[in-house]
A and B are shown apart, each in its own frame.
Chain A
Amino acid sequence: MFTQKSETDSFSEFVMSNERHLRESLSAACGDQIGREAAAEALEYGWENWDRLRVMENPVGYLFKVGRGRGRRMLSRSRPVFERVDPIRLPDVEPKLPDALARLSERQRLIVILIHCDQWSQGEVAKLLGLSRSSVRNHLDRAMGSLRKTIGGVS
């Protein structure tokens, strides 16, 4: 049986090292605001269920699924919303980029945002989504192709 102290400590450590991944992945899936909300709910859930989660092989992946379920619900059927491109700071970033990201399929969007915006490794994304690295790479190629078509960027 775990003492309260060790349970507390281990959960704090878990949050310290995983909060960013959870937040970034849910923001990529559900949009900035709802993703953040979903991440908070997922962490709350993780806290309440820590005795079960701590023994899991991939608790972040599990909490991601929890959060995504909540996020989808909050989104209802609307598209996720991403922060607008700041035209002053980023004059050469296509303003349509956030909308183009929102129009990707959820899986493609996650892969593009996590890898190119949030600088995750392909392996990290593969682990989160339970995909092989090669299929992450395939999705990434396709998503980037579709993005280029939408916003007319150059490769």
Chain B
Amino acid sequence: VRTLEDQLAAYGGQRNEGQTPFTTEELSGRSARHDPSVPSGLRTGIGDNSGPVFEASPRSARVSSRSVPRRLAGWQVGVAIATITLLGFGLINVFAGSGGPSDIQRTVGQSSETTVGVASNTEAAGSRSVNVDGISISFETLASGWESSGDFLISKDLSGDQAAEAVIYFATFPGVGAASRCPDLPFGQLPESADIDVVARSLSSTVDSKTVVGGMISRFVEVGVGDAPVLPPTGAVFVPDVGCDPGYLYSWAPQSGGASWRESKAGDTIDAWFVEVDGAVLVIVAETRGHTVRRELGPEIFQIVDSIRFPSIAPIATADYIIDMDTGEMTLLPAAIRSLAPSQYAVSPSGSMVAFLAPDDDGGFQLFTAGIDGADIRQITQRPNEAGSPAWSPDGSMVAYADSEGLFVLDVASGESTQIPSVLGTHYDGGIQFTPDGSSILYSSDDYQLWTVPIKGGNPTVLMGLEQGVAAGVGSISPDGSMVTFLGNRINGPGALRFLADTDSFEPRELGGDSQSCGWVNPAGAWSPDGTRILCTGRNDVHAFDVATGDTPFVAEGKGGAWLDDHTLLVEAWGK
């Protein structure tokens, strides 16, 4: 037996062998993916084995966000100098204004300006909590440098004389306090109870979307204040320069040390989330000024908002939801299901039941079934080792699953599990699926091939793998059996990419362009019932690959999901 050190070194060798340096194409493709209309900023160079060689584009290249308001979007590049504006909702606090001690001076052209610098790290990353009108809110700042200013806001101060660059502000409605509304909005005087929600609605009814905050569905709107030197983020409400001075939506009296914070100005971006907690409407507002700042701090803001939890609300419940893809309407799954902290959903063929993985009383992961309405929740496995990868049979009578001992088929009516004999090395994590005729199970093996094995016993057969020149996993057959999709790579090629192959030729082809938006999803739920689309997870969210057109549009925010019908998805939300 080798020493642990030797084992680690050997394993490291194996791991690193499979790790190719980034190719120019790969990075170039990524950059272009943000916005196909923009020439790639990363151009192909001549690579060698020591690492990628590529050229940076001129600084004016644009990298824009996608059209749907979402978290961690890329932001547009612009040369904008950081300042800060706070959008207030009645509750006003004293801001501690300070230039960061480690700000960098950068010379731009002939004039010397203070611009974005290194975080001043005045407060370390970590868990925080605030209490807003009795609503307890906890959140995490993953990056350091976010300062609490008073009870209701945190800010990050990266630049010089403007005190801060971004704030996140918590308030409830209706707010009263020192803030007064801007009198000159183009749509007239706001009523006394006006709030940004009203404002956003009057500006546009098309762009606000829903997202999940702290396990609750919230409304989200992004507002770009107009007459900006550079374009506002894609998908934002664009407000023309309303000449509203001081303040776009609200103004407030000068605060100590924060004299420049009184106005929302052209070039500002305001994100607002509205969520009902314990009967009160909470608004979370984040504001940045300038697109450089936006690009810098936008992801941090979204991370912080994503980490928000409300201790008063069922602490372990997920925020998994059902979304109607035609209308965008979101509905939380019944609390009875969400409170089990489920994952790996598989939807029954009729769409009336779900099977999922959840921790049982002993804390081990076991399979459960439930009506989609939350009724009749049952734990269906009690495996000594944790079970996973549920898949419904086409007739809805059986659920197949995997554990470390092999593959099993469970009769839903009797609750009895039968192990499938003669399975060759399963890859537990790859997920499994019934073949469309219900006679066999498709699974991924340790040798990176896709196999089918008859559930009643019989020799497993390779469906896809070395013979086709690919390493394949996470395979899923289309409902009519004509196609198979999987994640993998060509031998010695880059991976993992998503492939598609017809089951008569078995010629695998990589999905074009945006294939990295089409990563893992439980194979049992991958194909839409009509076989036209493949559900997959992108970098941060759920996409649907259209087999006919090759498009991979964003469809929902989350980390996975399954089709309920051709227009409706069950989505696993981010967060707990």
Q: Report yes or no: A84 in contact with B576, Cβ–Cβ below 8 A.
A: no
Of A8, A39, A69, the residue contacting B55 (CB under 8 A) is A8
Of B10, B14, B41, the residue contacting A83 (CB under 8 A) is B14
Dominant secondary structure of chain A at its interface with chain B: helix
Of A11, A16, A48, A155, the residue contacting B295 (CB under 8 A) is A48
Is B16 an interface residue when CB atoms closer than 8 A count as contact?
Answer: yes
Provide the bound-state CA to CA distance between A98 and B7, in Å.
11
Is A131 an interface residue when CB atoms closer than 8 A count as contact?
Answer: no
Provide the bound-state CA to CA distance between A91 and B142, in Å.
40
A153 in contact with B4 given A73-B306, A76-B574 (CB within 8 Å): yes
A82 in contact with B15 given A23-B21, A73-B303 (CB within 8 Å): yes
Q: Report yes or no: B8 in contact with A90, Cβ–Cβ below 8 A.
A: no
Is A15 an interface residue when CB atoms closer than 8 A count as contact?
Answer: yes
- Chain A 102-138 near chain B by CB (<8 Å), digits 1 or 0: 0000000000110011110000000000000000000
Q: Report yes or no: A1 in contact with B56, Cβ–Cβ below 8 A.
A: no
Q: Report yes or no: A55 in contact with B104, Cβ–Cβ below 8 A.
A: yes
Q: Report yes or no: A153 in contact with B3, Cβ–Cβ below 8 A.
A: yes
With a cutoff of 8 Å between Cβ atoms, the chain A residues found around residue B3 in the complex are: 153-155
Dominant secondary structure of chain B at its interface with chain A: loop
Of A1, A33, A73, A84, the residue contacting B109 (CB under 8 A) is A1
A17 in contact with B51 given A51-B106, A69-B299, A118-B12 (CB within 8 Å): yes
With a cutoff of 8 Å between Cβ atoms, the chain A residues found around residue B569 in the complex are: none
Q: Report yes or no: A117 in contact with B429, Cβ–Cβ below 8 A.
A: no
Provide the bound-state CA to CA distance between A33 and B306, in Å.
22
Is A20 an interface residue when CB atoms closer than 8 A count as contact?
Answer: yes
> B315 to nearest A CB, angstroms?
13
Residues 41 to 55 of chain A near chain B (Cβ within 8 Å): 41, 43-44, 47-52, 55
Q: Report yes or no: B429 in contact with A81, Cβ–Cβ below 8 A.
A: yes
With a cutoff of 8 Å between Cβ atoms, the chain B residues found around residue A153 in the complex are: 1, 3-4, 7
Provide the bound-state CA to CA distance between A113 and B18, in Å.
15
Is B26 an interface residue when CB atoms closer than 8 A count as contact?
Answer: yes
Interface size on B, residues (CB 8 A): 66
Is B117 an interface residue when CB atoms closer than 8 A count as contact?
Answer: yes
Q: Report yes or no: B4 in contact with A147, Cβ–Cβ below 8 A.
A: yes
A51 in contact with B59 given A19-B51, A93-B10, A119-B12 (CB within 8 Å): yes
Is B531 an interface residue when CB atoms closer than 8 A count as contact?
Answer: no
Q: Report yes or no: A12 in contact with B54, Cβ–Cβ below 8 A.
A: yes
Q: Report yes or no: A1 in contact with B107, Cβ–Cβ below 8 A.
A: yes
Q: Report yes or no: A83 in contact with B18, Cβ–Cβ below 8 A.
A: yes
Q: Report yes or no: A73 in contact with B14, Cβ–Cβ below 8 A.
A: no
Of A55, A76, A86, A155, the residue contacting B575 (CB under 8 A) is A76
With a cutoff of 8 Å between Cβ atoms, the chain B residues found around residue A74 in the complex are: 539-540
Provide the bound-state CA to CA distance between A47 and B52, in Å.
13
Provide the bound-state CA to CA distance between A117 and B6, in Å.
9
User: What residue in chain A is nearest B487 (Cβ atoms)?
Assistant: A33
Provide the bound-state CA to CA distance between A48 and B27, in Å.
12
Q: Report yes or no: B15 in contact with A23, Cβ–Cβ below 8 A.
A: no
Q: Report yes or no: B14 in contact with A90, Cβ–Cβ below 8 A.
A: yes
Is B45 an interface residue when CB atoms closer than 8 A count as contact?
Answer: yes
Q: Report yes or no: A117 in contact with B8, Cβ–Cβ below 8 A.
A: yes
Residues 23 to 69 of chain B near chain A (Cβ within 8 Å): 26-27, 30-31, 41-42, 45, 50-59, 63
Provide the bound-state CA to CA distance between A73 and B8, in Å.
27
Q: Report yes or no: A97 in contact with B11, Cβ–Cβ below 8 A.
A: yes
Q: Report yes or no: B56 in contact with A148, Cβ–Cβ below 8 A.
A: no
Of A43, A44, A113, the residue contacting B12 (CB under 8 A) is A113
Is A65 an interface residue when CB atoms closer than 8 A count as contact?
Answer: yes
- Chain B 254-296 near chain A by CB (<8 Å), digits 1 or 0: 0000000000000000000000000000000000000000011
Mark A residues whose CB is within 8 Å of B: 1, 4, 7-8, 11-12, 15-17, 19-20, 23-24, 27, 32-33, 36-37, 39-41, 43-44, 47-52, 55-56, 62, 65, 69-70, 72-74, 76-77, 81-86, 89-90, 92-94, 97-98, 112-113, 116-119, 144, 147-148, 151, 153-155
Can you add 17 more A-B contacts, CB < 8 Å, to A47-B56, A48-B63, A97-B11?
A15-B22, A16-B51, A37-B516, A47-B31, A47-B41, A50-B56, A51-B106, A56-B118, A70-B72, A73-B71, A93-B7, A97-B7, A97-B8, A117-B12, A118-B12, A119-B12, A155-B3
Can you list the 9 inter-chain pairs with the closest CB atoms, starting with the nearest? A117-B12, A116-B8, A153-B4, A11-B56, A19-B51, A93-B7, A8-B56, A16-B51, A8-B55
* 12 chain-A/chain-B pairs, Cβ below 8 angstroms: A4-B59, A7-B59, A15-B51, A37-B539, A43-B22, A44-B30, A47-B56, A50-B56, A94-B7, A113-B8, A117-B15, A144-B5
